[in-house]
A and B are shown apart, each in its own frame.
Chain A
Amino acid sequence: MKKKDKTPKKELFMESLQLPKDICMGALRITMTGNTEAWIENYKGILEYTEHTILLQAKTCQVCFEGTRLSVDYYTNEDMKISGCICNVRYL
């Protein structure tokens, strides 16, 4: 019960101070140009990588990029770029 009470309070605190959520709460940040390129920040790691699916682990959730001819242009600890034809972005 204690944990449940804690989260809204933290969110409330963040909103009242107008702090960016991606930094303070570790939310995933995705920037997309059309359906061909996507820049992803604030992720934990890559779980699955095939030509049709890229599954990423974020702090609170998992994100699955689906499409065709997907490839990772670069991959570092901070950010990565996915290019290819993206059809679907799903939060698991």
Chain B
Amino acid sequence: MIGLLKYLKGYVRIKVWGFSPERFMNLCGNRDILLWDIVKDGDACYMSISLQNFYKLRPIVKKTGTKVAILQRCGLPFLIPFLSKRKIFILGLCLTVAFWMISSLFIWDIEISGNYQITEDSFMTFLEEYDVRVGMRKEKLDIQSMEKEIRRAFPQITWTSAKLSGTKLLIEIKENDAPIITATVEQTQGSDLVAEYDGKITAMIVRKGVPKVGIGDEVTKGTVLVEGSVPVYNEDATVREYTYVDADADIVLEHIRTFRARLPFDYVSKEYTGRTKKKYYLRLGEKEFRTPEDRPFLLYDSLIKESRPLLFDKLSIPIYFGCYTHREYQNTEHEYTLDEAQRILNEKLNTFLISLDEKGVQIIEKNVKIDTNSGTWVIEGEFLVQESIGVSTTILKEDTGENNIDESDFQEN
């Protein structure tokens, strides 16, 4: 601290020699002149003295008959005249400091971590809707309410933590690993189960509702399998009223699924000629600057590589630089050989089978053939499958007045 003060005020290192340097020191002491780092070397004394006090030395020097010489000038007062000659440098220095100070008032980068299900894009879109964006003032950001809003907007986020690190907004989130149990809306209206395909029923377990078909029945698409309106009978076996439930049942239907895929004989593929052109660009926020260019090649695709310089790891400014690599290519036509066509079509079939398997569909019989047909390879397959079916549909209530009438009848009885 004292060192800094000395530097700010400026000091000189002097050499004192002559009749009696000790007397010189005593007189300095008497006049409240601070001397430090006094070293004696032979006849001469070397010492430091503040610039202000140095001007008071003349009478002492005269009185003692010593000689004083300046060896070194240190401190800010000696730097200022040096700097004043370099006005542009000073201006640049001031502008840099100002730029730093002003730019540190804004958020220049938003980083999200811990997201697996939620994509960064959707998160960014949400943040933009919430008016949190790159380039906003730090003061305007209310971290607490933003965290709350994130948890509200994304129910799968169980924990959020946002913090400002320099000019960077770091948002850490934790997503719920367990599936979200959304409260199912109580369907008071009731619902029927309806067949999705034509086929034969092979198994049936009804949990709720009235079954309308039995095992071994042939059904068509749209047939009601289980009815959601459960009749309540009077003693004389007449229907008193209907209670409506959501029909629930495991019904396995045997039906035929078909699969058909086509593959043209020939295909076009890109063949790179090896010729590339590079173009560099600079991007400030959303604005992009690049050198004007003509169409580099007749046919080409481009690779974009972008990087961002970071100042001192903390201060991130939205300046990006990158380069386009244009690669020339030619379209060449090829024809599939039988083996290739078979391989590709089989892959397609496999993905179809896997998708069936994922749905829990059991295959009983299969019949697949590969054929050619008007310039294309065609794969056709017929599968006899067993799968659980049933689509909920709301019940169309025919007469709603029935209940009231029945109730009034009951009261009379």
Contacts and interface: CB of A to CB of B under 8 A. Distances in A.
Interface in A52-74: 71-74
A49 B45 CA distance: 9
Interface residues of A, number: 14
Nearest to A47: B22
Nearest to A44: B26
B38 A72 contact: yes
Given A71-B40, A77-B29, A49 B35 contact: no
Contacts of A48: 22
Contacts of A74: 34-38
B25 A46 contact: yes
Nearest to B39: A71
Interface residues of B, number: 18
B54 to A, nearest CB: 15
Interface in B21-45: 21-22, 25-26, 28-30, 32-41, 45
B36 A49 contact: no
Contacts of B35: 72, 74-76
A51 interface: yes
Contacts of A36: none
Contacts of A51: 40-41
A1 to B, nearest CB: 35
B26 A45 contact: yes
Interface in B45-72: 45
Interface of B: 21-22, 25-26, 28-30, 32-41, 45
9 contacts: A46-B22, A71-B40, A72-B38, A74-B34, A74-B37, A74-B38, A75-B29, A75-B35, A76-B34
